[in-house]
Homo-oligomer: A and B are copies of this chain.
Amino acid sequence: MSKKVVTMGELMLRLSTPGHKRFVQAESFDAVYGGAEANVAIALSNFGLDAYFVSKFPNNPIGDSALNSLRRFGVKTDYVARGGERLGIYFFEKGTSIRPSKVVYDRANSSMATADPEDFDFDEIFKDAEWFHFSGITPALGEKGIKISQKAVEAAKRHGVKISLDLNYRKQLWGIDEFERVMPGLLQDVDVCFGWLSSVEEKKDEYQVADFSKETVDLDRFKNIFGKMIEKFNIKYVVTTMRENFSASHNALSAVIYDGKEIYQSKRYDFTIEDRVGGGDAFAAGLIYGLATGKNYKEALEFGVASSALKHTIGGDANLVTVDEVMDVVNGNTSGSVKR
């Protein structure tokens, strides 16, 4: 029997200009549906787990299409509530070389942002579940999002479900102060935390979770920061990716994990980029898959980073790869030779 894993969050309609066209050049938009936690669910389903997504979609054909986009890749949508006004939208212009990608958000008043905790039967949702993943985006949606997140965490703990939380600070949605006020309440007893709070490390203008392109990797510093997170919130693993931004089309990626004792840094992958969106979610999904299926945390980290590196070669938000394909990269095959 397959393992039941649950992710919860907002799913948005992503409207991308074709190729590398600028917004002002576009006569059409490619449409995919994505969101941090839904991306994790699709990746986990592709890895063979029984992935359920918890969200709310409007009761119209755009909501239907969002639902179909999950079912297509095997994600279970039994817990998707229907109703509300609209699906959030984000417009995406894919940069290249020295020109950055651009995102224009149009997500206010979405069905998920206006959902109530009563839209979800969390006891049913977490029955027999083994893992729950969510992110800082849901509480960022407003007071209702905070309540939904709290109810979900409580129910998950009640059912003995492991919890991972991607802090995912989004400055377009809320201020850093509000973020720092809310997240601690959700972090208690989380098993895996992606990123850290600025309260454990000096605050910056832009709260940075995972950009180390211009700093050298100082593992002791990570040990220190992550140690404080573990101490303060009783977290099992703290983890982050480190991205080197050579250009919009060329990045490198590595990651570190800390279990309270040993700090471990993964291999580093250097790659050109087909689509950067969802790279972090692919990492989260890989790490969760590893931990949920019995890999040790170092193996799980390697699986996560390889999974994320592969994601950058795939269009859309979701990581459409198999366990075998990720393991091939983990095992060092990045030569791109044709598979016949």
A93 contacts partner chain B, Cβ-Cβ < 8 Å: yes
Q: How far is the CA of A21 from the CA of B28 in the complex (A)?
A: 15
| Interface pair A334/B98, CB less than 8 Å apart | yes
Q: Across the interface, which residues of B come within 8 angstroms of A313, CB to CB?
A: 20, 95-99, 248
User: Is there a chain B Cβ closer than 8 Å to A1's Cβ?
Assistant: no
Chain B nearest CB from A171 CB (Å) reads 8
Chain A 38-73 interface mask (CB, 8 Å, partner B; 1/0): 000000000000000000000011101100110111
Known contacts A108-B109, A109-B109; decide if A15 and B27 are in contact (CB<8 Å): no
> A24 and B65: CB pair below 8 A?
yes
Asked if A23 CB lies within 8 Å of chain B CBs, one says yes
Contact with B along A292-333 (1 / 0, CB 8 A): 000000000000000001101111100010000100010001
**Of the 9-residue stretches A123-131, A225-233, A255-263, A266-274, which lies at the interface with chain B?**
A266-274
For chain A, give the interface size range.
Answer: 35 or more
Which of these, B19, B85, B98, B102, contacts A339 with CB under 8 Å?
B102
4 extra A-B contacts, CB within 8 A, seeds A28-B30, A248-B337:
A18-B28, A20-B314, A98-B271, A248-B336
A selection of 28 A-B contacts at a CB cut-off of 8 Å is A15-B15, A20-B274, A20-B314, A22-B61, A23-B61, A23-B62, A24-B73, A25-B320, A27-B30, A61-B93, A62-B91, A62-B104, A85-B108, A86-B106, A86-B108, A89-B106, A95-B313, A97-B313, A98-B310, A99-B313, A99-B336, A100-B333, A103-B339, A103-B340, A105-B340, A213-B335, A247-B336, A250-B336
User: What residues of chain A have their CB less than 8 Å away from a CB belonging to chain B?
Assistant: 15, 18-32, 60-62, 64-65, 68-69, 71-74, 85-86, 89, 91, 93, 95-106, 108-109, 170-172, 211, 213, 245-250, 269, 271-274, 276-277, 309-310, 312-316, 320, 325, 329, 333-340
